[in-house]
């Protein structure tokens, strides 16, 4: 059984407020739980008018309070933006509120532009260079303290929140393997190194107290609809967003267009289609074929789907479609 999960960027769509976007994230998590998804993760981004999950731990608590069984967590917390102690306290608190349901996915990218990153990190070089040491410090703070330990995370101590390593490069594959952590690759927006990263991680994996065998999660952008044509139209919101990001144009998450012709140049189209080459967009039959091929190619242990769809009702319908596909996969394996 290959579990399906959801990565939620808490999009602030054109015409919506931040409060409405956060309410939509709650509704998405409830629907995902109803449909049998394994987890819902929120992503840390800063300075982006179209994303409401900058205070990621707060949004995790917000969606976690509306659900009962589904795992919730970060995909991810950009650890160099924070001290390990602060993150240990935040996720120790989440674990106390939502016992046994919290994941802590970590990345080292800033999750924003360089000026905002400077405001967050102050010392950019030190933040990136200390990433492996900060992970170990964080693990220590979330674990059982040693005798006379001077610094304690309260809440946090003995929370033992599962840590994942997230990445879009070979560096993250090497580090996740060396530390014996589960690994999530950001193939939903960084396709080029996917297969090499998976191979490195699996080949070099060192068993740890956290994980005895390698565990790989892969990501796709996902838009499910009743027809291929409707799904393609809904997907234009993401395509517009990626064009705008390349131009450093910051907007709310765009409404869909009937056609992208006239919006992007041929070069912009080529770049966006390359970046989103693993996107699963279409009717249930189209999605079944696309995901089947992708999961067979990667041999992934889990799939996480980002569904940035402007209209919340259509986003929830997409969750239902992907949920039905996940159930079909389970039934096939059971047979």
Domains located in the chain, CATH noted: 1-161 (3.20.20.30), 215-335 (3.20.20.30)
The residues pairing with 197 across neighbouring beta strands, listed in sequence order, are none
> With helix as H, strand as E and coil as C, how does 20-32 read?
HHHHHHHHHHHHH
pLDDT at 335: 47
Q: Which of 85, 93, 10, 106 is nearest to 51 (CA)?
A: 10
Residue 124 has pLDDT above 70, yes or no: no
pTM: 0.94
- 127-158 pLDDT, tens per residue? 667 899 999 999 999 999 998 889 999 999 99
Whether the CA torsion 307, 290, 233, 244 is positive or negative: it is positive
159/28 Cα distance (integer angstroms): 27
- 58-83 pLDDT, tens per residue? 999 999 999 999 999 999 999 999 99
DSSP 171-183: HHHHHHHHHT--E
Helix (H, G, I), strand (E, B) or coil at 78: strand
- 198-215 pLDDT, tens per residue? 999 999 999 999 999 999
- 264-293 pLDDT, tens per residue? 999 999 999 999 999 999 999 999 999 999
Phi, psi of 259 (to 5 degrees): -155, 150
Residue 110 has pLDDT above 80, yes or no: no
What b/e string do you get for 183-207 counting C-beta neighbours within 10 Å, with b at 16 or more? bbbbbbbbbebbeebbebbbeebee
* pLDDT interval class at 111 (50, 70, 90): confident
Contact 100, 68 (CB under 8 A): no
* pLDDT interval class at 123 (50, 70, 90): low
Cis peptide before 248 (omega within 30 of 0): no
pLDDT at 332: 56
173/331 Cα distance (integer angstroms): 32
- Size of the chain, expressed as the number of residues it contains: 335
- 95-109 pLDDT, tens per residue? 999 999 999 999 998
* pLDDT interval class at 326 (50, 70, 90): confident
Contact 221, 306 (CB under 8 A): yes
* pLDDT interval class at 121 (50, 70, 90): low
Residue 334 has pLDDT above 50, yes or no: no
Mean pLDDT for the chain?
94
Percent of all residues in the chain with a pLDDT value above 90, rounded to a whole number = 86
pLDDT at 118: 80
pLDDT mean over 24-47: 97
């Amino acid at each position: 059984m290959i579990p399906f999960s959801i990565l939620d960027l808490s999009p602030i769509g054109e015409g919506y407020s931040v409060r409405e976007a956060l309410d939509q994230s709650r509704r998405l998590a409830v629907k995902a739980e109803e449909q049998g998804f394994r987890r819902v993760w929120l992503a840390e981004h800063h300075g982006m008018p179209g994303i409401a999950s900058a205070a990621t731990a707060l949004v995790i608590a917000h969606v976690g309070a509306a659900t009962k069984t589904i795992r919730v967590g970060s995909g991810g917390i950009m650890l160099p933006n924070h001290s390990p102690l602060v993150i240990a306290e935040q996720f120790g608190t989440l674990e106390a509120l939502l016992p046994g349901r919290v994941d802590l996915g970590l990345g080292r990218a800033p999750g924003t532009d360089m000026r905002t990153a400077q405001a967050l990190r102050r010392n950019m070089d030190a933040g990136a260079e200390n990433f492996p040491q900060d992970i170990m410090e964080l693990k220590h703070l979330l674990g059982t303290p040693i005798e006379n330990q001077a610094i304690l995370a309260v809440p946090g101590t003995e929370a033992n929140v599962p840590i994942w390593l997230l990445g879009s490069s070979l560096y993250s594959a090497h580090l996740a393997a060396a530390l014996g952590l589960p690994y999530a690759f950001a193939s939903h927006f960084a396709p080029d190194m996917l297969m090499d990263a998976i191979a490195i991680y699996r080949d070099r994996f060192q068993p740890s107290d956290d994980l005895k065998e390698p565990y790989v999660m892969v990501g796709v952008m996902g838009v499910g609809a009743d027809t291929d044509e409707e799904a393609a139209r809904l997907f234009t919101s993401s395509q517009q967003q990626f064009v705008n990001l390349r131009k450093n144009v910051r907007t709310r998450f765009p409404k869909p267009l009937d056609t992208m012709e006239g919006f992007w140049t041929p070069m912009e189209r080529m770049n966006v289609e390359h970046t989103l080459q693993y996107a699963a967009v279409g009717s249930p039959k189209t999605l079944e074929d696309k995901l089947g091929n992708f999961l067979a190619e990667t041999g992934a242990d889990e799939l996480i789907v980002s569904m940035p769809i402007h209209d919340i009702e259509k986003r929830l319908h997409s969750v239902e479609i992907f949920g039905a596909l996940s159930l079909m996969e389970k039934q096939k394996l059971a047979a």
